[in-house]
Chains A and B, each alone.
Chain A
Amino acid sequence: MKMEEMSLSGLDNSKLEAIAHEIYTDLVEDACLGLCFEVHRAVKCGYFFLDDTDPDSMKDFEIVDQPGVDIFGQVYNQWKNKECVCPNCSRSIAASRFAPHLEKCLGMGRNSSRIANRRIASSNNMNKSESDQEDNDDINDNDWFYGSEKKAKKRKSDKNPNSPRRSKSLKHKNGELSSNSDPFKYSNSSGINYETLGPEELRTLLTTQCGVISEHTKKMCTRSLRCPQHTDEQRRAVRVYFLGPSAPLPEAEGSVENDSFDVAESQALMSRLQWDGSSDLSPSDSASSKTSTNNSESRKTKKKKPHLSLVGAAPGLSSNKKKKPKPPAPPTPSIYDDIN
């Protein structure tokens, strides 16, 4: 043993190298032999060709390597314009907007759940006017509508100035204005603080958008003239208030249903009277809230029994209110109760 080791240490480098290579080949041949045994066993046991399929089906599953398609040969942006149908309101919404819509429609999230709960309550209980009144504050909600699907679709095509994508300029303006406004005003509201607007601005504003003043935020609605959150009567009242009685309600007249026109007329008249009568009050809160409550009432009657409101309710209401400039408030729990 000792001698062998000595002889081993006495080897020169080239010999060591040759031995190393020999060992290496030995190992590789061992590996080859192992593979041969493995394959032979597989062949004899009959499982060697198991993972093979016929070439036709192999062709079906070939990996596609072409520009514009994925490895299965499918066009990979085919889901880009996928639309989802909302299970709640059965409108079809672009997939990218579906989650935000669901949030509002089903009422998840902080704000929307309150809003949605109110709506559910109001749709169950139609003569609860509270919810209707507070609908005026749902400026941020673009997705939900009282009306049928038809109405909603119509509105969808409208230009909605309150939509987050289109309202950049307005928001900017609003942000500027709200910096010097009262501290109790909601700074994050998307309405317009009408108190700081000049007359020309007011006029152009009112000819292009709804403009109804929310009794909650004291700001103007920045949606289109056909905004479904507010009635035509409310819009008319605001225009009368800002531009004088001669100011017409532009365009939107046509959308009012014929059978309720009497009501709308009388409402407008009445609200005008109210403006005169209650001039000592701050116009922003009392007047607008009253008009809105009245209007909500009229909306209710419109919805439920259109002919009744034509014959019985409307004349009675208007005559009643004409006598008393300050009518007893309709049985609506005020939203101020909630606030204070």
Chain B
Amino acid sequence: MMSTYNISKMNKDAQMRATINQKLIETGERERLKELLRAKLIECGWKDQLKAHCKDVIKEKGLEHVTVDDLVAEITPKGRGSWGTDRLGRKRNEVDVKTKTSTLVPDSVKKELLQRIRTFLAQHASL
């Protein structure tokens, strides 16, 4: 297992992330976090806002011609928070920079989720 990876720093990080993700899924914590986030986002109106945005997109493109990719491309940057880079480290595009100012996810939700992730990490780091 170790032999397949280089000892370089980048690979070590990637490996560690993979391990953490695996642990998240294995313990079921990821599923729990997803459920929590979903409930919170519905509660705070995030889902409704995005749905309204979906409507605009669909009306613009035409009911028949909408694809999942269109929706994902339109919705994900809007629904995501206000970070400079995405998961893969790419810079955000123009639209993302604009939406950065109007983060849809409330701070309280974000903080709560981050707190739970941190405790999870702390638990598994201290093992």
Compute how far the CA of A20 lies from the CA of B110 in the bound complex, rounded to whole angstroms: 11
CB < 8 Å neighbour of B76 from A7, A36, A39: A36
The answer on a CB contact under 8 Å between B117 and A43 is no
- Which residues of B come within 8 Å of A, CB atoms? 2, 12-13, 15-17, 19-21, 24, 30, 33-34, 37-38, 41, 47, 50-51, 54-55, 58, 63, 66-68, 71-72, 75-76, 79-81, 83, 86-87, 105, 110, 113-114, 117-118, 121-122, 124-127
Quick check: is A37 within 8 A (CB to CB) of the other chain? yes
Quick check: is A30 within 8 A (CB to CB) of the other chain? yes
The answer on a CB contact under 8 Å between B54 and A27 is no
The answer on a CB contact under 8 Å between B125 and A43 is no
Chain B residues lying within 8 Å of A36, measured Cβ to Cβ, are 54, 68, 71-72, 75-76
Compute how far the CA of A156 lies from the CA of B65 in the bound complex, rounded to whole angstroms: 76
Chain A: CB-nearest residue to B17? A19
Chain A residues lying within 8 Å of B33, measured Cβ to Cβ, are 23, 27
The answer on a CB contact under 8 Å between A28 and B37 is yes
Take A4-B16, A33-B76, A40-B71 as given contacts and tell me if A27 and B34 are in contact as well, using a CB distance cutoff of 8 Å: yes
CB < 8 Å neighbour of A31 from B41, B67, B87, B110: B41
Chain A residues lying within 8 Å of B114, measured Cβ to Cβ, are 20-21, 24
CB neighbors of B among A1-48 (8 A): 3-5, 7-9, 11, 15-17, 19-37, 39-40, 43, 48
The answer on a CB contact under 8 Å between B83 and A19 is no
- Which residues of A come within 8 Å of B, CB atoms? 3-5, 7-9, 11, 15-17, 19-37, 39-40, 43, 48-49, 52
Compute how far the CA of A245 lies from the CA of B115 in the bound complex, rounded to whole angstroms: 101
CB < 8 Å neighbour of B24 from A23, A28, A35: A23
CB < 8 Å neighbour of A28 from B12, B54, B63, B80: B80
The distance from the CB of A109 to the nearest CB of chain B, in whole angstroms, is 51
Compute how far the CA of A3 lies from the CA of B75 in the bound complex, rounded to whole angstroms: 40
The distance from the CB of A16 to the nearest CB of chain B, in whole angstroms, is 5
Q: Please give 6 more A-B residue pairs, beta carbons under 8 A apart, in addition to A21-B83, A21-B114, A24-B117.
A: A8-B19, A8-B20, A9-B125, A26-B87, A40-B66, A40-B67
- 20 of the cross-chain contacts (CB-CB < 8 Å) are A5-B125, A5-B127, A8-B20, A9-B125, A11-B125, A16-B118, A16-B122, A20-B114, A20-B118, A21-B114, A28-B79, A28-B81, A28-B105, A29-B87, A37-B68, A39-B54, A43-B63, A48-B55, A49-B55, A49-B63
How many CB-defined contacts (below 8 Å) exist between A and B?
112
Chain A residues lying within 8 Å of B47, measured Cβ to Cβ, are 35
The answer on a CB contact under 8 Å between B34 and A24 is no
Compute how far the CA of A30 lies from the CA of B86 in the bound complex, rounded to whole angstroms: 13
Chain B: CB-nearest residue to A34? B38
The distance from the CB of B123 to the nearest CB of chain A, in whole angstroms, is 11
Chain B: CB-nearest residue to A23? B117
Chain A residues lying within 8 Å of B38, measured Cβ to Cβ, are 31, 34
Chain A residues lying within 8 Å of B68, measured Cβ to Cβ, are 36-37, 40
Take A4-B16, A7-B16, A43-B66 as given contacts and tell me if A27 and B113 are in contact as well, using a CB distance cutoff of 8 Å: yes
Chain B: CB-nearest residue to A40? B68
Compute how far the CA of A305 lies from the CA of B79 in the bound complex, rounded to whole angstroms: 92
The distance from the CB of A291 to the nearest CB of chain B, in whole angstroms, is 80
Chain A residues lying within 8 Å of B21, measured Cβ to Cβ, are 23
Compute how far the CA of A39 lies from the CA of B38 in the bound complex, rounded to whole angstroms: 15
The answer on a CB contact under 8 Å between B113 and A24 is yes
The answer on a CB contact under 8 Å between B83 and A16 is no
Chain B residues lying within 8 Å of A40, measured Cβ to Cβ, are 66-68, 71
Take A4-B19, A24-B114, A36-B68 as given contacts and tell me if A16 and B63 are in contact as well, using a CB distance cutoff of 8 Å: no
Compute how far the CA of A90 lies from the CA of B15 in the bound complex, rounded to whole angstroms: 89
